[in-house]
Amino acid sequence: MKRLIAAPNLALATLWADQLCGAGMDATVQRHWAGSIAGEIPVDQALPEVWVMDETRYAEALSLLDELRNPPWYRWACPACREQVDGPFEQCWNCGTQRPWA
C-alpha cells in the first residue's frame, strides 16, 4: 500500500480513487473525516489521501492520476453547426453533437 496524493477535499479524493478502481487498480481513500479535526492538527495533515494498494502499480497509478488532473486540451469545430469548441469537451455546447475522433 502506497500513498499517491493528498486531495484538497473528500469529493476529489473519492473521484480519483473511483477512477483508478475503474481502470483496474485497487485504490482507497484514507483520512476521510480528518478534516473535522483541522485546527487541532495541522491542516495539511487533515486532508484526505488516495492510496494504491498494489505498490507495483504505483507508477501506472501516478500516470493515470496525472491524466485525470490535467485533461488534454482540444480545439475542434463541430461538424454539424461549425461552432468552435475549446477544452476537453467531447460534445458541442451549442448543438450537442459528439466530437469527431481523429
Q: Which cell numbers hold the place of 14? A: 473519492
**Residue-wise pLDDT tens digits, 40-79:** 877 778 899 999 999 999 999 999 999 888 877 778 899 9
Cell of 91: 460534445
Segment 73-98 shows an average pLDDT of: 90
User: Are the beta carbons of 1 and 49 closer than 8 angstroms?
Assistant: no
* The pLDDT of residue 2: 96
Q: What does the block give as the cell for 97?
A: 453533437
Q: Where are the alpha helices (DSSP H) in the chain?
A: 10-22, 58-69
Please state the pTM of the whole predicted model. 0.69
Q: In the 8-state DSSP scheme, what is residue 32?
A: T
